[in-house]
Amino acid sequence: MESRVVECAERLVAWFAPWPSCAVALSGGVDSAVVASAAHQALGDRAVAFTGESPSLARAELEAAAETARRIGIRHEIIPTHEGARNAYRANAADRCYHCKSELYERIDGELARGVGELAAAVVVNGANLDDLHDYRPGMDAARERDVRSPLAESAMTKEDVRSVARLWGLAVWDKPASPCLASRVAYGEEVTPERLARIERAESLLRELGFIPARVRLHGGEMARIEVEAGQVTRVCQSDIRERVLERLTALGFRFVTVDLGGFRSGSLNALVPLEGPRSDRNTP
């Protein structure tokens, strides 16, 4: 097993060898952290990481991205993104991620065009892994349109491989649960607004304070919070003292109805509302 992990790590670092420089879209999660580390190992100062700052990214995730970059040693640029100014993004159709990623990649391209870090000729890379190619990922369309590469997927690395390599390299985020952007908590077809994202962020922060990790607060109808915690924690979140505290805080945040999903935490559960052949679908894309 260890030899396979070492092989994966070496293959990933070698992926960067042909490139004179590189820009990494760093989110703060384990996937992009491994990509950033590999890029830094291969290219040193010729690699730079970019993180987009906007209401859709929880403050804790922005801080995590900055800390990850610091530990890796890679140069890190935080750039404002304005996906909320895009009507198609706010409309929150099933292809919302396409518009968000388009904004991010355009901003990164703009920074590179200005010669940030003398990386104008850099390849831009993301943290998509092999498993991601089998899920509904409209953001991958934005990557393809802008020639953004996916070193993990191209190196045939699964999520399990990524975590193993992260652990091998001593990255603190090796076991960090996935944490997509806050907009992913808003049911498709319901408008994404800064106010709604802030409500969701505060609600999830409370659940983390209470020890529920991972946890999601899904917004339905603009008024109903659907809480997801791991199946083994559903009973605990419904205990009277915790239930009353959660209900009080979430009601104060503006949620009229507060519910707990008995099915437990399921990453990307709102994708169940997407038709099999949705717009810009990435299903079965190699």
DSSP state of 220: E
193 vs 134, residue with greater confidence: 193
- In eight-state DSSP terms, residue 192 is P
Residue 280 has pLDDT above 60, yes or no: no
Query: What CATH number does residue 228 fall under?
Result: 3.30.70
Tell me the C-alpha distance between 88 and 67, whole Å.
32
Asked if residue 82 and residue 199 are part of one domain, the reply reads no
Q: Annotate 120-153 with DSSP letters as a single string.
A: TTPEEE----GGGGGS--THHHHHHHTT-B-HHH
Q: What is the pLDDT of residue 262?
A: 96
Does 187 have pLDDT greater than 60?
yes
Average pLDDT over residues 152-177: 97
Output the pLDDT for position 285: 29
Domain of residue 220, residue span: 182-266
**More confidently predicted of 135 and 51:** 51
Q: Residue 55: inside a domain, yes or no?
A: yes
Distance CA 146, CA 155 (A): 20
Tell me the angle at which helices 159-168 and 30-43 cross, rounded to the nearest 10 degrees.
50
Is 256 part of a structural domain of the chain?
Answer: yes
What pLDDT score was predicted for residue 134?
Answer: 83
Integer Cα distance of 216 and 226 in angstroms: 8
Residue finishing a domain among 123, 146, 168: 168
The answer to whether position 279 is within a domain reads no
| pLDDT (tens digit per residue) in 85-97 | 999 999 999 999 9
Number of domains in the chain: 2
Burial category of 16 from C-beta neighbours within 10 Å (exposed 0-12, middle 13-18, buried 19 and up): buried
DSSP 186: B
Question: In the prediction, which pLDDT does 28 show?
Answer: 87
pLDDT digits (tens, 9 = 90+) for 54-92: 999 999 999 999 999 999 999 999 999 999 999 999 999
User: What's residue 282's pLDDT?
Assistant: 38
Judge whether residue 286 has pLDDT over 70. Answer: no
Using CA atoms, how far apart are residues 218 and 211, in angstroms rounded to an integer? 18
Query: Distance between CA atoms of 270 and 184, rounded to whole angstroms?
Result: 8
**pLDDT value of position 277:** 42
Q: How far is CA 72 from the centre of its chain?
A: 19
Q: Whole-prediction pTM value? A: 0.89
Q: Give domain status of residue 18, yes or no.
A: yes
Q: What is the dihedral of CA 262, 268, 270, 271, to 10 degrees?
A: -130
